[in-house]
Structures are given as structure tokens and as C-alpha cells.
């Protein structure tokens, strides 16, 4: 498994790309309201990435994906294709997943939005999913097994009577959109990966309110929960530091520090 260790210069470029990706989610927040279409949200994101940030959407055209961001609503687990026919309504939970390329490097992040008045289950699912991401982020430090992060996320999520999607995972990132290693969010073989300073990857648990099983739609992209239960996901791009990690895609609405450290 060829995991690239990023140089300080590469990490600085990733900071820039990560900041831009986070800015897209900060910008779009006020537009995620009842009555808006996911197609309109995609256009707003695209315009901001291309015209304001002078950057590139990594998703647009990636293996043929037709839009600039992925927007997944309610029972859609991931890779939802924005559409003018999909109108958001009160109580919907919505994941917007943004990957920006700037100066050849990627910044990848997603967050959940609750449209209008939240449902009790929707709010709880989003909260627990975000907490599972934060749990994983706080564990990152040199010398730990990558597998331990997935194991603790799974344990936390299942204790809340939710489930972790198995088929999709976090990933190494840098010049490439998806690099090694794969970052699983449940307890499974990780090939013996031990974290080292300079490793950059995403943590992005997908959590279902019901069963973890999924089904893929005929469009070749959209993935839904098999039992039609709600699904949520949060994602950050991070780099391992000498004693913790740096979150490159932290948004201004989050309370976590950008640099998480552990005492020796």
C-alpha cells in the first residue's frame, strides 16, 4: 500500500484547498431552505467555486458525474445528483459534499443541513453522525492503528442504535482525489496501517437510522438505504501532525479547534 507522506509545501497547498471547500459549505448554508431545488444549490456552489474562488470542482465530470457537488437528501446515503425536480421541504436532512481542486491539490468535505423545522429523528441522526466524526478526529495521532478509528466509530454509532455503512469509506487525498489508504468507519482489516506525520486523508462516516445495507439506483450514482431509513454523513480532510492532526476543512460554525493535539 503506497501511502504518500505530504511535504510541508504540499500541506500548505492542501490547507488552501481545504479552506476553499469549507467556504463553499459556509456560503451555501443560508440557501438551504424549504422550496429550493437541489439543482439551484448546485449552481450556486459551482458559481462560487469557479468564479469567486477561481478553483475547480473535482466532482464535475469525475467518472462522468454530471454536477459540481453531491447533494443527498433523507434516505440517500451518498452521491445524490442535484436536480431542478428535487425540491427541499420542511424537515428534510441534506448532505452537501464538496471537493475543490486548487493548485493541483484537493480539499474534500461534507456536512448536513436540516431544512426548516427538524424532525426529532433527523436532528438526532445528524448530531450523532457529527459526533462520530469528531470522535475519530480526536483519535488521530502518529503511532495508532488506522483500524482503531473505525472500531471506535462503529462502537459509538451502534450504541445509539444506528448503523455504519460498510461499502463507502474515507480515503487518502492530495494531488489525487482518492489515494491510499482506505479509511473504514467500522472494525475491519486495515492492512496494518499505522499513522505517521504527513499522512493526509478524509474521515467521513455514513450513518443510517436503520439497517446499514444500501441499494444503488439505475442512474449509476445515487445510493439509498435499503430499508428507506434516513442517512447522514459528515466529512473532513485532515493531515496527521507530530502529536495529533490538523483539520484542513474546518468551518466557522464548528467548535473544534483546527489543530487537535495530544500530550506526549
Helix (H, G, I), strand (E, B) or coil at 41: helix
Mean pLDDT of 139-150: 97
Average pLDDT over the chain reads 97
Q: 98-120 pLDDT, tens per residue?
A: 999 999 999 999 999 999 999 99
Q: 217-249 pLDDT, tens per residue?
A: 999 999 999 999 999 999 999 999 999 999 999
Indicate if the pLDDT at residue 1 is higher than 80. no
Mean pLDDT of 2-16: 97
Alpha helices in the chain (DSSP H): 8-28, 38-47, 120-139, 146-159
Residue found under cell 459534499:
97
What integer pLDDT is reported at residue 43 of this predicted model? 98
What integer pLDDT is reported at residue 190 of this predicted model? 87
Q: 202-218 pLDDT, tens per residue?
A: 999 999 999 999 999 99
Residues 213 and 225: beta-carbon distance below 8 Å: yes
Q: State whether the Cα torsion 149-154-159-161 is positive or negative.
A: positive
What gap in Å lies between CA 20 and CA 108, rounded to an integer? 9
Percent of the chain at pLDDT above 90? Answer: 97
pTM value is: 0.97
What gap in Å lies between CA 60 and CA 102, rounded to an integer? 14
Amino acid at each position: 500500500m503506497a501511502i504518500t507522506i505530504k511535504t510541508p509545501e504540499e500541506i500548505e497547498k492542501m490547507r488552501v484547498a481545504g479552506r476553499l471547500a469549507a467556504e463553499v459549505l459556509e456560503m451555501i448554508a443560508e440557501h438551504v431552505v424549504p422550496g429550493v431545488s437541489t439543482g439551484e444549490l448546485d449552481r450556486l456552489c459551482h458559481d462560487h467555486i469557479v468564479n469567486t474562488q477561481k478553483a475547480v470542482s473535482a466532482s464535475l465530470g469525475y467518472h462522468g458525474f454530471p454536477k459540481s457537488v453531491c447533494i443527498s437528501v433523507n434516505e440517500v446515503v451518498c452521491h445524490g445528483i442535484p436536480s431542478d425536480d428535487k425540491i427541499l421541504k420542511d424537515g428534510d436532512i441534506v448532505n452537501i459534499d464538496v471537493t475543490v481542486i486548487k493548485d493541483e491539490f484537493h480539499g474534500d468535505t461534507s456536512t448536513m443541513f436540516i431544512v426548516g423545522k427538524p424532525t426529532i429523528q433527523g436532528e438526532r441522526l445528524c448530531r450523532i453522525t457529527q459526533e462520530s466524526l469528531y470522535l475519530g478526529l480526536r483519535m488521530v495521532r502518529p503511532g495508532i492503528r488506522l483500524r482503531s478509528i473505525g472500531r471506535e466509530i462503529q462502537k459509538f454509532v451502534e450504541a445509539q442504535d444506528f448503523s455504519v455503512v460498510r461499502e463507502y469509506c474515507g480515503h487518502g487525498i492530495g494531488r489525487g482525489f482518492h489515494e491510499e489508504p482506505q479509511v473504514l468507519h467500522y472494525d475491519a482489516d486495515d492492512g496494518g496501517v499505522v499513522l505517521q506525520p504527513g499522512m493526509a486523508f478524509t474521515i467521513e462516516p455514513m450513518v443510517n437510522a436503520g439497517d446499514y445495507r444500501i441499494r444503488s439506483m439505475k442512474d449509476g450514482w445515487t445510493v439509498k438505504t435499503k430499508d428507506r431509513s434516513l442517512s447522514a454523513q459528515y466529512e473532513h480532510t485532515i493531515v496527521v501532525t507530530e502529536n495529533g492532526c490538523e483539520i484542513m476543512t474546518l468551518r466557522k460554525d464548528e467548535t473544534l479547534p483546527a489543530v487537535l493535539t495530544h500530550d506526549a
